[in-house]
Amino acid sequence: MTSTFNGNEDAALYGNRFATREVPTREFPARGMPALDAMRLVGEDLALEGDPARNLATFVTTWMEPEAQRIIAENLHRNFIDHAEYPRTAEIEQRCIRMLADLFHAPGETTGARTQGSSEAIMLGGLSLKWNWRTRRAAAGASASSPNLVFGGDVHVVWEKFCRYFDVEPRIVPLQPGKYTIGPEDVRAHIDENTIGVAAVLGTTFTGHKDDIAGINDLLVRIKHERGIDVPLHVDAASGGFVWPFLYPDSAWDFRLEQVRSINVSGHKFGLVYPGIGWLIFREKADLAEDLVFTENYLGKTDSTFTLNFSTGSAMVLAQYYNLVRYGRAGYTYIMKNMQANARVLGEKLAAMGQFELIGADEEQLPLVAFRLAADNGFDEFDLAWQLAAERGWMVPAYTLPPDAQQVTIMRALVKETMSREHVDTLARDIAEACATLAKKGGAHELERNRIITGPGH
Ligand SMILES: Cc1ncc(COP(=O)(O)O)c(C=O)c1O
């Protein structure tokens, strides 16, 4: 009998060549490979990753309806920036901007931009603050050489990035142990005629709470009347912009407040769209500095752009519109209330274990549970995060808070649309078991902690 092993031919017939061979990782491949092999190579790499359904670190959408997935799959070949070629897509973007402006109580006709996420929206919003401040300074015949921006230590890292990338002095109000958001009393001392704006957060990355936006607005109104300095307020509603209107409709944080001039929101977080889609919405057209809008005609028609990226996909814009019309206010409210109800059950179960302290569970909060160990049981939050990942594949991050609350370590579990009651019950049991295991064996090795824990997610 001849040998039955026939190299590449058998691999093509019965499996794929990477069952036994190393995959290409460094050199640009001289020749390619069959499509099936390439597909399996990528798929097998990804099989080693975490399961997005158990990723409770991320705010970003991990599930969409099959109909939305179909829209996405059917429109991956459409470049969003080709407005001349795809005018209906551009119109759908404008519809989304108008609907979000309506949701955020814009007083009249306004404008905005579709972005890759909140980070791009914040860069563009920050630039507009800077440009408008320069115009105000020029009108007053004053120097515009040292702009500053005021925000709390509870902001996402993107605000510090904006300041460094675009040469603005960050005036960061430190947090304190037990105080993880900011209010007017924190902001007052930092404001002067070089302040391009104040950034406040609706739904912080760390604990899911909101800054005292109404209080900061009142302070800025007072400063405008008493000192003649008109400081705009930008609300970073990356997560909260799709939560507060539905869970806390009477809580004013948006354009109902006089000084709120611009808002960013991530469509790919509680807007329930896959990454990446974000939105920047201005209160009025005049809040967008005209100088930042560029006009070109090389795609077939004179067109204006206000973006950092140029080419990008249309699919997520279409998916956002799908969600807005598919769910409407009633649908978003239903989904947000489900998440909130399940977050509350998880919080109650953790509290009942007697080992945890919940962070601000009785305040307005994103649908999540922020918690910490109430006592020293021989292990810490980093150990628990590691044990949960190792035992059950749950990704629940542990992280320290920003200065001056850096000695506080917390954990945070996002409760998203796919986190059913059954998942909540299972997670609570798994946390209890992980605690029992850790109580017996003690904390994880220091090295393991450093390798696994990466921060609060995004
Ligand atoms: C409050 C806040 N702002 C900004 C961002 C950045 O948003 P994106 O990931 O959409 O760029 C995040 C991400 O988690 C966030 O939580």
User: What pLDDT is stored for residue 260 in this prediction?
Assistant: 98
pLDDT digits (tens, 9 = 90+) for 34-78: 898 899 999 999 999 999 999 999 999 999 999 999 999 999 999
Q: Boundaries of CATH 3.40.640.10 in the chain?
A: 69-324
Give the chain's residues under pLDDT 50: 1-3, 447-448, 451-454
User: What pLDDT is stored for residue 455 in this prediction?
Assistant: 54
Let me know: does 443 contact 380? Beta carbons within 8 Å: yes
Measure 237 CA to ligand 1 centroid, in angstroms: 9
∠ CA 323-326-330, nearest 5°, is 100
Measure 118 CA to ligand 1 centroid, in angstroms: 5
SS3 state of residue 330? helix
Q: Boundaries of CATH 3.90.1150.160 in the chain?
A: 334-452
Taking residue 85's Cβ as centre, other Cβ atoms within 10 Å add up to: 13
User: What pLDDT is stored for residue 303 in this prediction?
Assistant: 79
Query: What secondary structure does DSSP assign to 401-441, as a single string?
Result: PSTTSTT-EEEEEE--TT--HHHHHHHHHHHHHHHHHHHHH
Measure 354 CA to ligand 1 centroid, in angstroms: 32
Nearest atom of ligand 1 to the alpha carbon of 266: 10
Nearest atom of ligand 1 to the alpha carbon of 59: 14
pLDDT digits (tens, 9 = 90+) for 138-159: 999 999 999 999 999 999 999 9
SS3 state of residue 130? helix
- Closest Cα to atom 7 of ligand 1: 118
Measure 119 CA to ligand 1 centroid, in angstroms: 6
Q: Return d(Cα 122, Cα 170) in angstroms, integer.
A: 14
Q: How would CATH label the architecture of 334-452?
A: Alpha-Beta Complex (3.90)
Ligand 1 pocket test, candidate residues 55, 59, 61, 119, most atoms within 8 A of CB = 119
User: What pLDDT is stored for residue 453 in this prediction?
Assistant: 47
Q: What is the DSSP letter of 116?
A: S
Measure 271 CA to ligand 1 centroid, in angstroms: 13
Query: What secondary structure does DSSP assign to 378-403, as a single string?
Result: S--HHHHHHHHHHHH--B--EEEPST
Taking residue 82's Cβ as centre, other Cβ atoms within 10 Å add up to: 17
The answer to pTM > 0.75 is yes
List, chain by chain if needed, residues with CB within 6 Å of any ligand 1 atom.
Answer: 59, 117-119, 156, 158, 201, 205, 236, 238-239, 266, 278, 458
Nearest atom of ligand 1 to the alpha carbon of 155: 1
Measure 162 CA to ligand 1 centroid, in angstroms: 13
User: What pLDDT is stored for residue 302 in this prediction?
Assistant: 77
Ligand 1 pocket test, candidate residues 160, 242, 266, 308, most atoms within 8 A of CB = 266
The strand pairing partners of 235, in sequence order, are 200, 263
Assigned fold of 69-324: Aspartate Aminotransferase; domain 2 (3.40.640)
